[in-house]
Structure 1
């Protein structure tokens, strides 16, 4: 055995690339994304509303036929969950979007100069139609930063901790995060949520500056930092989270 072959025995095995599966059900075909996870102990299915797909996760050692068989046995559940996903809500002329929870109508203004502005319950987007989605998203992201950043900094000041940086980006698996280095990230789609939801998420991540867990002391601090009860915003996100992920699609 060559030295390189001997050392390779002790290197971690690469996780296989995701695989697209087709599951038959009631005369239809369902698309499932199959992934391997070294931390998984058993096969599982989850909904990925941001990408409008079902993800099948299996341990590295599970036989492919066993994992696929598990998904096939759950075909009815897969079909039902895909059928319940909210419709896409693309950024087009005439679309209605909730700016911080308040409905606004999108108006394309090809004859106007400038970029994006708000007027009488409408959001006007100038320029060519193909640029509308990008320009509107950029404007919405800037609007969110204007509201969210001062809110987060104010709550962080109450913990007597500082924030390294705050980014707003297209995060799809969580609404906000705070790392050990005090760097925070938020989903730009929070621009569609009402103010009390932003307040709750700002309090939640600011509490992580002190407690990098979800233990009792963390929740006590998060409640203290929030301007109102946290149960309402939590329930709102649970009811509407999948809808927020469809805007701009």
Structure 2
């Protein structure tokens, strides 16, 4: 691990396809990932990373502000904030009650139970929201999958299969609406042409607002666990 980066890991990767050094922050791994071309000198790689500390440090600090799936943390679910409350003596797994997400059982199970509960909630909500935009637009995906992804919020295959990240349930409605409209638009345009963006703007008024939100808070959302 490189010094000065707090609890973040440093992951070094060698790529035969890389033409230059690349630095990125992995929210999922809470790590600085450095990709190097094969045969790149180690001393030059270290110098490259140290020269970019002004870029790295603020992004790592942002990750330290990430809410956790832990007792007393506050998380947003479908546009409402809930405080995670551990109730070891109660039964029921995890459930919403007033402004709390209650979680029963052993404390070591709490993060997994919170995540499982939110995933189940996400499947129901995102399918319903997708159905609504589909009915309005007349665009119907062949299939909708709710998955856990490390980088993309959604995708659309040439066969019409759409994927959305379950973490979107923790994002504001306008973000979810935009990303659903974005992927549905790919059913007509498998590109990002002017015609594609025109269709997106026809389906949702939230594009600019959602893009700004994702730019500022997307990495934090990816890091919650």
TM class by smaller structure: 0.7 to 0.9
Q: Secondary structure at the match of 1:245?
A: helix
Match of 1:246 in 2: 223
The correspondence of residues 67-78 of structure 1 with structure 2, limited to 5 A, is 67-78=45-56
Q: Is the 8 A contact 1:24 1:75 kept in 2?
A: no
Residue 152 of structure 1 and its aligned partner are, at CA, apart by 1.9
Q: Distance in 2 between matches of 1:144 and 1:73?
A: 41
Q: Is the 8 A contact 1:24 1:72 kept in 2?
A: no
Residue 84 of structure 1 and its aligned partner are, at CA, apart by 4.0
User: Which residue, out of 126, 129, 145, partners 1:148?
Assistant: 126
Give the total of aligned pairs: 225
User: Which residue, out of 33, 37, 42, partners 1:55?
Assistant: 33
Match of 1:237 in 2: 214
Query: Which has the higher Rg, Structure 1 or Structure 2?
Result: 1
Q: CA RMSD in A?
A: 2.7
Q: Distance in 2 between matches of 1:57 and 1:120?
A: 46
Residue 63 of structure 1 and its aligned partner are, at CA, apart by 5.0
The reply to whether residue 195 of structure 1 matches residue 179 of structure 2 is: no
Q: Secondary structure at the match of 1:144?
A: helix
Residue 127 of structure 1 and its aligned partner are, at CA, apart by 2.5
The correspondence of residues 108-119 of structure 1 with structure 2, limited to 5 A, is 108-119=86-97
Residues 164-195 of structure 1: CA deviation (Å, up to 9, x unaligned): 32222221111111122222222221121111
The reply to whether residue 42 of structure 1 matches residue 20 of structure 2 is: yes
Match of 1:14 in 2: none
The reply to whether residue 137 of structure 1 matches residue 115 of structure 2 is: yes
Match of 1:126 in 2: 104
**Unaligned stretches of 5+ residues in structure 2:** none
Q: Normalization by structure 2: what TM-score? A: 0.85
**Unaligned stretches of 5+ residues in structure 1:** 1-21
